[in-house]
Amino acid sequence: MNERNSLKVNSNGHLEIGGCDCLDLAKEYGTPLYVFDEDYIRLMMRTYKNVINTHYDGNGQVLYASKAFSCMAVYRIAQQENIGCDAVSGGELYTALQAGFDAKNIYVHGNNKLIYELNEAVDAGVGGIVIDSYREADLLNDVCESKGKVQDVLIRLNPGVEAHTHAFVQTARTDSKFGFSIADGSALEYVKHVLSLKNIKLRGFHCHIGSQIFEKKSFVLAAEKMLNFFAEVKCATGFEADVLNIGGGFGVWYTDDDPKFTENDYASYLIAMIDAIKSKCEELKLNRPYLLMEPGRSIVGEAGITLYTVGSIKDIPGIRKYIAIDGGMFENPRYSLYQSKYTAVKADDVYAPCTQKVSIAGKCCESGDLIGVDMPMPEVKSGDIIACLTTGAYHYSMASNYNRNLIPAAVLVKDGKADIIVKRQTYSDLVRNDVVPDKLK
């Protein structure tokens, strides 16, 4: 278990997060239950912000990648920590604004923003929109013209660096639904088109090279390639961009196959990238751009756990043992989608020896509804509480009502106190938007 955040084992041997005993949380709020450690979220936001302040003269901004976990409370925390956010849908933008988030610190993303989403973003006065196609540039220009406004934009690029976990590769051409390739000339042609439009103002460029990345060199190489493109654009058009958005993708610990990073490790990644930016700008005689970065998973991933109650146990001798829980793919689809690996512990006896490997199965009517396979676990019985660790990112965000299951509640814990930040759904919520036509009554 990674005890770097506020996960502790108390004197009773129980798992504790944010000073709260997980058995008490399960009893009070029910399971499944998402639990988020407020102090850890704030620590990571401050870590990135402090590096920009101390190593880049404050010439930049951290944008919380809210697709990792979007709710009004987390936007409030980001606002209090003086960082921005990015939104990838009208719904995320609406949630941030409802939380009182300053629109000028919001950047809007997405490869196919709908016309109403562009209107909402412009009306709100967002700080920037990352554009990703000719159609989108023209649509946004028309929207702004109709409103008598000029909108700052960034162009999403593919720098030819693809990274995931411990490896990265350079490619001449990136096959992705996102962005324009630097290598094949399409990016430069798109820049010229955007510069010709009157109601959008190009400020700079954006890239995102992958997720769950532990390879430091990949971020450095991406920054260098982006700045080479800055110089190419300046030479070809006379336009010098003043904003570089390097994206996100810092990896987090899920199992002992992953590094256990401290906040200092994350800081060192950003420092290495900043050093590369400074050096490259000097080499190419460019002004240092305003730096944007978009951490999401690394801010909330390890801040979150999910608590479950064990139900039925099915032991198939010589084949497999299934431990069924009251959650599943409706509140955590990541194993079903990506075969993601997790660490789970018995919440009332964290250090109990793991004497078996089991599959933790959800309650949905799908054979593939699993949280994990061959997971080391101690002996458990029906009614025990299991905690699945590092579930703060892309769990609540990806939850659904599959099989008409209810999306769990989420609580925020700090100093031994828990507060509801997302209410548990009810059956009434499930049928709220159902309509029975008169002919069926």
Per-residue pLDDT tens for 347-362? Answer: 999 999 999 999 999 9
Report yes or no on 291 lying in a domain: yes
Number of domains making up the chain:
2
Residue 224, in any domain of the structure = yes
Say yes or no: 361 and 269 in one domain: no
pLDDT at 50: 98
Confidence of residue 210 (pLDDT cuts 50, 70, 90): confident
Does residue 435 form part of some domain? no
Q: What is the pTM of this model?
A: 0.95
User: 89 falls in which pLDDT band (50, 70, 90)?
Assistant: very high
The answer to whether 182 and 225 are in contact (CB under 8 A) is yes
> What is the domain range of residue 231?
38-296
Q: Do 308 and 171 fall within a single domain? A: no
Q: Angle 91-96-97 (CA atoms, 0-180°, nearest 5)?
A: 100
Split at pLDDT 50, 70, 90, the class of 179 is confident
Residue 181 confidence (pLDDT): 87
Per the annotation, the verdict on 365 as an active-site residue is: yes
Domain ends where: 296, 318, 351?
Answer: 296
216 pLDDT band, cuts 50/70/90, is: confident
CA nearest 46: which of 64, 68, 59, 20? 64
- 164 with 264, same domain: the answer is yes
User: 96 and 232: one domain?
Assistant: yes
Q: Are residues 324 and 349 in the same domain?
A: yes
Interior CA angle at 124 toward 76 and 44, to 5°? 30
Q: Where is pLDDT greater, at 318 or 76?
A: 76
Rounded Cα–Cα distance for residues 198 and 78 (Å):
33
Q: Which residue is associated with the tokens 């061959």? A: 374
* Together in a domain, 277 and 389: no
Question: Would you say residue 282 lies in a domain?
Answer: yes
287 and 339 fall within a common domain: no
Q: Looking at residues 131-148, what average pLDDT do you find?
A: 97
Average pLDDT (81-99) is 98
Residues 224 and 118 in one domain: yes
437 occurs within a structural domain: no
| 223 & 308 share domain | no
Residue 438 covered by a domain = no
pLDDT per residue as tens digits for the range 281-321 = 999 999 999 999 999 999 999 999 999 999 999 999 989 99
Stretch 210-229: mean pLDDT, rounded?
91
Residues 369, 271, single domain; the answer is: no
Domain boundary among 273, 296, 319: 296
Average pLDDT (356-373) is: 95
List, for residues 327-346, the tens digit of each pLDDT value: 999 999 999 998 999 999 99
Q: Is the pLDDT of residue 169 over 50?
A: no
The predicted pLDDT at position 173 comes to 45
Domain boundary pick from 269, 296, 323: 296
Q: What is the CATH number of the domain that holds 103?
A: 3.20.20.10
Residues 12 and 35: their CA atoms lie apart, in Å, by: 20
In a domain, 237, yes or no: yes
CATH number of the CATH domain containing 317: 2.40.37.10
Q: What is the overall mean pLDDT for the chain?
A: 94
Residues 242-268, mean pLDDT to the nearest whole number:
94
Does residue 199 lie in a domain region? yes
The predicted structure's pLDDT at residue 60: 98
Instruction: Choose, from 20, 22, 364, 365, the residue flagged as catalytic.
Output: 365
CA–CA distances in Å: residue 331 to residues 323, 392, 407? 17, 12, 6
As a residue count, the chain comes to 441
Is 90 exceeded by the pLDDT of residue 172? no
Residue 279's closest CA among 204, 234, 224, 218? Answer: 224
Look at residue 106 and tell me whether its pLDDT is greater than 80.
yes
Q: CA torsion angle for 350, 355, 357, 362 (degrees, to 10)? A: -50
Q: Which pLDDT belongs to residue 333?
A: 95
The rounded distance, in Å, linking the Cα atoms of 415 and 436 is 48
Residue 170 has pLDDT above 50, yes or no: no
What residues are paired with 156 via a beta bridge? Answer: 206
| Same structural domain, 163 and 275 | yes
Q: Clarify whether residues 153 and 14 are in a common domain.
A: no
